[in-house]
């Protein structure tokens, strides 16, 4: 009786409670899979990156009002002795700005041969090979390894060989531009030769001849900057008289290469300003402007332009052969009268530069912070993706284990029910047998 009771209790509560319990665990495992799959999907979405906006450039403080220089002050300051004037003009040629490091970045290709040959043909029109044969063919001499007499007797070329001492102009251009891949493609070579042509075209033929060999070796940091330099040289060199063109080229070339800024801005300004001077005075005036720019204005072109523009109207009332020296003394007097203003301008420039540097520094810091946050978000997504894969694997494994456990419990329950049914059947059969036996005995 007790055994039957416990079997019923086991079937009714133990297996019933276990099945409910395992069903709850299965539901939790399925829910875990759903959550983990959602996290995996979220982790594959691109991480958001904060957009960094650079602060606008601050407005520069206005310069203080300048103290004007009068024409009478300039004229009275000009020396009477011609030798003193010439000495001052010479000293203006000695200004040497700081050299900048060079960076050569040019890609190779072999396209544009026709354009290059077209520009070389135009260069030949400016410097005809008939007038300058050695310039185009190069120079050299014959060497006779077995003696000159044997060649004279036989006239065979195998008894002599030509030794080149200098290349022709076209070959020289190709070699120079191929060095360090400065202008290795024919399109780039064509652009350079076009720049040479623009510089040489306004000049006389003998001056072209002396300049071309220097132009071939001219390079200013990069190809783009070299082309810009050639463009500004083509505008300024024709302004000088013939006796100063070569010296002006060397002076301007040195200025372009050694200027801590690009130098192109000042030469462009000179090209606009020098026509106001007598041609013979332009070279000296150009040197004085460069010296003033580098030595007293810290390469502040705007301030120099403001100052020089006030002098230009005086030129009509100054002797033609004293215009350059008058500019020199104008600068001296101006600096003396505006010394405090110059200091104030420098303070304004320094403060403005500091603000620009601070804006740039803040912008870069914000970029770095945004990049760091972006990487952190990516790492966070990767971390949760990995954990979610683990959770999915564990949950699926738990579901399979629960399924097996429930299956075993169901089998055990069914076996127990079958055994109970068999016991009851046997019991009923025994009881029936006993009953039948008693009935038979009574009969």
Contact, 242 vs 204, CB < 8 A? Answer: yes
Cα dist. 79→88, 169, 325, 328, 366 in Å?
A: 10, 48, 9, 11, 59
18 vs 25: CA distance, rounded Å: 10
Give domain status of residue 24, yes or no.
yes
- Three-class SS string for 102-129? CCCCCCCCCCCHHHHHHHHHHHHHHCCC
- Structure-block tokens of residue 59: 């407005």
Tokens of 252: 């301007």
How far is the C-alpha of 156 from the C-alpha of 146, rounded, in Å? Answer: 12
Q: Is the dihedral of CA 201, 204, 209, 214 positive or negative?
A: negative
Q: Comparing C-alpha atoms, which of 230, 199, 210, 196 is closest to residue 120? A: 196
Range of the domain at 391: 2-48+376-442
**Structure confidence at residue 211 (pLDDT):** 92
Number of structural domains the chain divides into: 1
pLDDT of residue 311: 92
Sign of the CA dihedral running 153, 159, 165, 171: positive
Of 175, 186, 171, 188, residue with least CA distance to 105: 188
387 domain-assigned: yes
CA angle at residue 283 from 281 to 287, to 5 degrees?
Answer: 115
209 φ, ψ (degrees, to nearest 5) = -60, -40
**Residue 309 exposed, middle or buried by CB count within 10 Å (0-12, 13-18, 19+):** exposed
Looking at the domain assignment, is residue 314 inside a domain? no
Going from the first residue of the chain to its last (443 residues), give the mean pLDDT of each consecutive group of 10, the final group possibly shorter: 54 59 76 83 79 78 74 73 65 50 41 85 91 84 77 75 78 82 84 92 91 89 88 93 92 85 85 93 92 82 87 91 91 84 76 84 85 85 84 83 75 74 76 71 63
Q: Residue 13: which residues within 8 A CB-CB, separation 6 or more?
A: none
Domain contains 306: no
Torsion, Cα 331 333 336 339, to 10 degrees, reads: -40
Closest CA to 166 of 130, 132, 200: 132
Please count the residues of the chain: 443
Residue 410 parent element (H or E): helix 339-442
Q: How far apart are CA 375 and CA 372, in angstroms?
A: 5
Which is nearest to 311 in space by CA: 283, 289, 336, 342? 289
DSSP run (H or E) holding 161: strand 161-166
Backbone dihedral region of 147: left (phi > 0), alpha (psi from -120 to 50 degrees) or beta?
left
| CA pair distance 413, 418, nearest whole angstrom | 9
Record the pTM: 0.59
Cβ atoms of 187 and 112 within 8 Å: the answer is yes
Burial readout 345-381 (b: 16 or more C-beta within 10 A, e: otherwise):
beebbeeeeeeeeeeeeeeeebeeeeeeeeeeeeeeb
Does residue 240 belong to any structural domain of this protein? no
Q: Give the bridge partners for 72, in sequence order.
A: none
Coil, strand or helix: which one is 299? Answer: coil
- Residue pointed to by tokens 């999915």: 392
- 280 within a domain of the structure (yes/no): no
């Amino acid at each position: 009786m007790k055994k039957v009771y416990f079997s019923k209790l086991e079937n009714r509560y133990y297996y019933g409670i276990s099945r409910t319990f395992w069903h709850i665990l299965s539901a939790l495992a399925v829910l875990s899979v759903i959550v983990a799959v959602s996290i995996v999907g979220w982790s594959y979405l691109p991480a958001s990156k904060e957009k960094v906006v650079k602060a606008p450039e601050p407005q520069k403080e206005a310069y203080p009002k300048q103290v004007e220089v009068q024409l009478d002050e300039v004229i009275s300051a000009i020396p009477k002795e011609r030798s003193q004037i010439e000495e001052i003009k010479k000293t203006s040629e000695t200004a040497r700005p700081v050299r900048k490091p060079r960076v050569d970045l040019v890609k190779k290709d072999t396209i544009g041969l026709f354009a290059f040959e077209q520009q070389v043909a135009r260069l030949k029109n400016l410097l005809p090979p008939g007038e300058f044969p050695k310039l185009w063919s190069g120079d050299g001499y014959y060497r006779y390894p077995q003696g000159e007499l044997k060649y004279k007797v036989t006239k065979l070329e195998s008894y002599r060989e030509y030794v080149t001492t200098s290349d022709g102009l076209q070959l020289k251009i190709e070699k120079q531009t191929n060095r360090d891949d400065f202008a290795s493609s024919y399109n780039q070579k064509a652009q350079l030769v076009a720049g040479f042509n623009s510089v040489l075209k306004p000049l006389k033929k003998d001056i072209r001849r002396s300049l071309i060999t220097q132009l071939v070796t001219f390079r200013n940091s990069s190809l783009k900057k070299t082309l810009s330099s050639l463009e500004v040289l083509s505008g300024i060199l024709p302004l000088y008289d013939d006796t100063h063109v070569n010296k002006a080229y060397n002076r301007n070339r040195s200025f372009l290469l050694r200027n801590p800024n690009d130098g192109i801005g000042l030469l462009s300004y000179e090209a606009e300003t020098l026509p106001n001077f007598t041609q013979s005075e332009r070279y000296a005036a150009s040197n004085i402007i460069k010296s003033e720019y580098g030595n007293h204005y810290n390469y502040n072109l705007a301030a120099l332009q403001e100052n020089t523009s006030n002098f230009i109207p005086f030129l009509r009332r100054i002797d033609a052969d004293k215009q350059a020296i008058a500019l020199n003394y104008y600068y001296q007097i101006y600096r003396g009268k505006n010394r405090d203003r110059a200091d104030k301008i420098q303070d304004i420039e320094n403060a403005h530069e500091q603000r620009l540097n601070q804006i740039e520094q803040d912008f870069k810091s914000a970029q770095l912070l945004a990049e760091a946050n972006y990487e952190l978000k990516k790492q966070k997504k990767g971390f949760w993706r990995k954990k979610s894969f683990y959770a999915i694997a564990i949950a699926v494994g738990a579901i399979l284990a629960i399924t097996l456990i429930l299956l075993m419990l169901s089998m055990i329950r069914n076996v127990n029910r079958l055994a109970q049914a068999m016991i009851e059947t046997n019991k009923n059969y025994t009881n029936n047998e006993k009953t039948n036996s008693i009935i038979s005995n009574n009969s």
